[in-house]
Amino acid sequence: MITENGTHTGTEAGTGQPGLSPADTAKNAAACRAVDFVEDGMRVGLGTGSTAAFMVRRLGQLVREAGLRVTGVPTSSRTAALARDEGIHVVTLAEAGWLDLTIDGADEFDPAFNLIKGGGGAHLQEKVVATASDRMIVIADPDKDVAQLGAFPLPVEVLQFGWEVTQRLIAELLEGQDVASRGITRRMGAEGPFVTDEGNFILDLHLGRIGNPPALALALNQIAGVVENGLFIDICDVVVIGHPDGHVTVRDRHSGRETSHGAVPDNAFSGLGG
Please state the length of the chain. Answer: 274
The answer on whether 110 is annotated among ligand-binding residues is no
Catalytic, 126? Answer yes
**Nearest 5°: phi and psi at 237?**
-105, -35
Q: Is 166 annotated to bind ligand? A: no
The reply to whether 117 sits in an annotated binding site is yes
Listed residue (48, 10, 18, 8) closest to 31, CA to CA: 48
Asked whether residue 48 is marked as a ligand-binding residue, the answer is yes
Distance of CA 137 to the CA centre of its chain: 9
CA distance 83 to 120: 17
Structure-derived torsion over alpha carbons of residues 74, 79, 85, 90, reported in degrees to the nearest 10: 10
- Does 150 appear as a known binding residue? no
Sheet holding 226-229: strands in order across?
Answer: 183-186, 201-206, 154-158, 226-229
- Among candidate residues 126, 164, 172, 198, the one labeled active-site is 126
Comparing CA positions, the residue from 98, 47, 29, 89 lying closest to residue 64 is 89
> Is 104 within any annotated ligand binding site?
yes
Residue 225 counted as an annotated binding residue: no
104 sits in which H/E element: strand 99-105
Strands 108-109 and 115-116: antiparallel
Annotated binding site for substrate: 48-51, 104-107, 117-120, 144
Catalytic residues: 126
Return binding residues: 48-51, 104-107, 117-120, 144
